[in-house]
């Protein structure tokens, strides 16, 4: 390993962690109305898929047909941070020029945002499905079951994200030597 690779890798790792902490700080100070960029697309897409209307209030987006309220706590923000860190830490910044590294870093934020929106849509539609099935299987809407399904969804999506980004990086740089830098799961 050369000194330039270590310096670039350390810089982008620190930039990733600093960005994650800054975003977490801003999220902690925010209210539901401040997170419209995160929850509005998922709420609108979910409403379209479920063919139901949503209404917005200071408490978030409300689905009256299913009694679901999408608010700050439903924003999947921690998933967004985890996805961003996984994507950003998978990119080999030491092989990129400065401007390309910046674009890839911003792209990591964008991909994490789109992935978070997709995961939120799956959560909302899945919860609505569980609510419909509640009369046949009431355990589907129990707190414990919903936490376990959320954890499975998050871990599965992060696992798939890591492998997809790793494959894209390998194809982009056409080098199997990058495999030494990645843990295998």
Confidence of residue 108 (pLDDT cuts 50, 70, 90): very high
**Residues 15-44, mean pLDDT to the nearest whole number:** 89
- 0.85 exceeded by pTM: no
Digit-coded pLDDT (tens) for 46-60:
989 999 888 888 788
What is the phi/psi pair of residue 63, to 5°? -105, 95
DSSP state, residue 37: H
Residue with the larger pLDDT of the pair 56 and 177? 56
Q: What is the reported pLDDT for 152?
A: 95
Cβ neighbour number for residue 29 with a 10 Å cutoff: 7
Give the dihedral sign, CA 131/134/137/140. Answer: positive
Q: Are 127 and 99 in contact (CB under 8 A)?
A: no
Q: What is the reported pLDDT for 55?
A: 84
Q: What is the reported pLDDT for 88?
A: 92
Smallest CA-to-CA distance from 169 within 86, 73, 55, 63 is with 86
């Amino acid at each position: 390993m050369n000194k330039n690779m270590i310096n670039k890798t350390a810089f982008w790792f620190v930039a990733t962690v600093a960005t994650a902490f800054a975003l977490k700080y801003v999220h902690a100070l925010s209210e539901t109305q401040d997170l419209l960029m995160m929850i509005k697309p998922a709420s609108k897409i979910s409403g379209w898929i479920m063919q139901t209307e949503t209404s917005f209030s200071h408490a978030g987006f409300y689905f009256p047909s299913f009694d679901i309220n999408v608010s700050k706590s439903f924003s999947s923000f921690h998933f967004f941070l985890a996805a961003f860190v996984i994507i950003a830490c998978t990119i080999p910044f030491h092989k990129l020029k400065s401007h390309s590294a910046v674009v890839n870093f911003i792209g990591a934020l964008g991909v994490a945002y789109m992935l978070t929106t997709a995961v939120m849509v799956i959560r909302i539609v899945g919860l609505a499905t569980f609510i419909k099935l509640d009369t046949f299987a009431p355990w589907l809407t129990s707190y414990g079951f919903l936490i376990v399904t959320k954890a499975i969804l998050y871990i599965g999506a992060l696992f798939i994200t890591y492998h997809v980004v790793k494959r894209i990086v390998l194809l982009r740089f056409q080098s199997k030597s990058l495999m030494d830098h990645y843990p295998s799961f």
